[in-house]
Structure 1
Amino acid sequence: MRSTPWASLLAALACLSACKHVDPMLVRADGSSTVYPLTEAAAEEFGRTNPNARVTVGISGTGGGFKKLCAGETDVHGASRPITPAELELCRKSGIAFIEVPIAYDGIVVAVHPNNTWATSITTAELARLWAPEAQGRITRWSQIREGWPDREIHLYGAGVDSGTYDYFTEAILHREHASRGDYTSSEDDNLLVQGVAGDELALAFFGIAYYEANRSKLRALAVDDGRADNGDGPIAPSTESVQRGTYQPLSRPVFLYVARGSLDRPAVAAFVQRCLDSSPRLSREVGFVPLPALAYALAMARVGARRTGTLFAGTSSAVGLPIEELLAREQANTGS
């Protein structure tokens, strides 16, 4: 199809918008509230050793953050899931190339109030029945989830629809990404979900493990049983060890940084991304994530150094259970670098 003058003008305007001058010492980060503690910790360390640089870190959710990245409004985007086909197309239309950088493993915790004395574990089948779209307005009491649990209301809290945690949870539990009941208290800010459960003994919520680790005294995590014969022995509690071993399934996942290719031409951005990768094995543990294998960080650094754009996931969605280091090694072998 031949380009029209109007199409050429619109493309030029988009490029001008995306490529407008930005302070070379400014790093604009945004995205997932799940990834925020790691990005914020890296920004604080970076600021101490680079006093002339300024890093801003916002929380727009994974989906909201991708919109900003693809509009050229941010340099670094924290994401709790891989980029989707629709987001790929949005970046393509805006002329924004990006580098996808796996940064840590995360677990999604199913949490209740400490005064909840009846629920110590939950199955993925029970979670699916509770969170399915058809459960809206129908499954509203604890006794409807499991026989023997009290005939009391259940109050649900969970990630908002712009959150990658929502996308991953719905794919992993319901096998239908972005589909769930809508009658729950939602937020892209995990701190608000923690506050909700901490103040409500009838609550149940899901959010990233880093927020659970930071609020253990206010919450209790349920062990999850997905019914797999190789998933240990019965329900598995979320922990650094169970996420790292791969036994906390299906609620373990990689999290990412997406870096605008053009932004790496600014020394402050390049140095910040380097700091993120260098410090992630240590900072991941400090903020409640699980570090990737050392090989994965080395391969991710090679990806950044080669300015290798695009996604390892070929536009797929949540990609439950994919081994990051194997994907990175395969890509490096295919490109011969």
Structure 2
Amino acid sequence: MKKVVCILSLALTLGACGSKNEKKGDAQALNGTIKIDGSSTVFPVSEAVAEEFRNVQPDVKVTIGVSGTGGGFQKFSRGETNISNASRPIKDKEIAICKENNINYLELEVAYDGLAVLVNPENTWVDSFTIEELKKIWEPAAQGTIMKWNQIRPEWPDEEIHLYGPGVASGTYDYFTEAVVGKSGSSRGDFTASEDDHVLVQGISGDKYSLGFFGLAYYSENKDKLSLIGVHNGTEVVKPSIETVKNGTYSPLSRPLFVYVNSTSVKSPEVVEFVNFYLETAGELATDVGYIPLPEEKYTQQKESFKSFVADNQ
């Protein structure tokens, strides 16, 4: 009888251990580390996904760095990360470095974002900008020349413009300069730059004569500290919002956001599981953190692309 009791006890113990080590949905429990780095703009989406992923795979460690899109691609091209957050497509020179290091990858769109143009709440004179006015302020030739607000419109104050923006390694900087100045990475250099959008929020919110830009999501988190300025799209003045980014009227300052996945990494089941989870939850979580989800059919396309990518690299 004691023997039967012992066997039953052992079976119950093993059964309990087995259920404890399985994630929701009775799928295989995984472990390991997933390394992500790159865009500060994409960070809130990836961090939200990682938080939810930890609930279903608690033994998988997901680390997310913020070194800007360019900095993230540097690490990615050296094989130091599994996934790279990017607020712009990978550049030709970055593709070349990946090839040199035998790094193959897949680009996946995960959400849409609008770039926010912002001033201090005490700024009572600016109601909108044209792209031409923004170019006049930010182009390289403006440095040392366009220094005051009344040089943009005569009725604006005879006070210095204090500029704030993402650093030159940022995909947001690249996108803004391409959309506004006409050439990616081309701008005046005399502005306060930071890869940390919270630093830019602090700068603009503490300076009456400030003007800056960064991703819309960070404005959404700091509405009480900043004033959002509309941009003339050629037909009308439009402010960025979920609706105007999604319907394309907030032009040309709307863009897709990306993650890039290293082909070597998909040999690790935890990476495959994480990316599938990302594509499954990105739409809902992007909305939660202030971004705009892709159409559902777009996520379906991304899932199919990733499935084929995994099959080709196993």
- Give the TM-score band, short-chain normalised: 0.7 to 0.9
Q: CA deviation at 1:49?
A: 1.4
Q: CA deviation at 1:226?
A: 3.0
Structure 2 residue 171 is the aligned partner of structure 1 residue 164: yes
Which of residues 94, 102, 105 is equivalent to 1:98? 105
- In structure 2, how many angstroms separate the alpha carbons of the residues matched to 1:285 and 1:217? 20
Aligned ranges 1:185-264 → 2 under 5 Å: 185-227=192-234, 229=235, 234-264=236-266
- In structure 1, how many angstroms separate the alpha carbons of the residues matched to 2:310 and 2:275? 14
Q: Name structure 1 gaps, 5 residues minimum.
A: 1-22, 310-337
Q: CA deviation at 1:308?
A: 7.5
Which of residues 39, 45, 58 is equivalent to 2:46? 39
Runs of 4+ off more than 4 Å: none
Matched-pair contact (CA < 8 Å) for 2:70–2:169: yes
1:34 partner amino acid? T
1:285 partner amino acid? T
Aligned ranges 1:5-44 → 2 under 5 Å: 25-44=32-51
Which of residues 280, 283, 297 is equivalent to 1:278? 280
Matched-pair contact (CA < 8 Å) for 2:31–2:59: no
TM-score scaled by length of structure 2: 0.88
- In structure 2, how many angstroms separate the alpha carbons of the residues matched to 1:142 and 1:26? 50
Partner SS for 1:29: strand
Q: Deviations over 1:17-59 (max 9, x none)?
A: xxxxxx9610001100010010111111111211110000000
Which of residues 133, 142, 148 is equivalent to 2:155? 148
- In structure 2, how many angstroms separate the alpha carbons of the residues matched to 1:191 and 1:83? 25
Q: Deviations over 1:80-112 (max 9, x none)?
A: 000010000010000000110000000000001
- In structure 2, how many angstroms separate the alpha carbons of the residues matched to 1:290 and 1:251? 14
2:271 partner amino acid? V
- In structure 2, how many angstroms separate the alpha carbons of the residues matched to 1:268 and 1:189? 29
* Cα 1:108–1:308 shift into 2, 3 Å: farther
Matched-pair contact (CA < 8 Å) for 1:171–1:178: yes
- State which structure, 1 or 2, has the greater radius of gyration over its C-alpha atoms: 2
2:273 partner amino acid? A
Paired residues, number: 282
* Cα 1:273–1:257 shift into 2, 3 Å: same
- In structure 2, how many angstroms separate the alpha carbons of the residues matched to 1:193 and 1:62? 17
Matched-pair contact (CA < 8 Å) for 2:106–2:262: yes
Which of residues 118, 121, 125 is equivalent to 2:125? 118
Match of 2:302 in 1: 300
Matched-pair contact (CA < 8 Å) for 1:104–1:254: yes
Q: Name structure 2 gaps, 5 residues minimum.
A: 1-29
Matched-pair contact (CA < 8 Å) for 2:229–2:239: yes
Structure 2 residue 60 is the aligned partner of structure 1 residue 53: yes
1:96 partner amino acid? I
TM-score scaled by length of structure 1: 0.82
- In structure 1, how many angstroms separate the alpha carbons of the residues matched to 2:210 and 2:242? 24
Matched-pair contact (CA < 8 Å) for 2:49–2:278: yes
Which of residues 68, 72, 75 is equivalent to 1:65? 72
State the identity %. 49
Partner SS for 1:222: strand
Q: CA deviation at 1:147?
A: 2.0
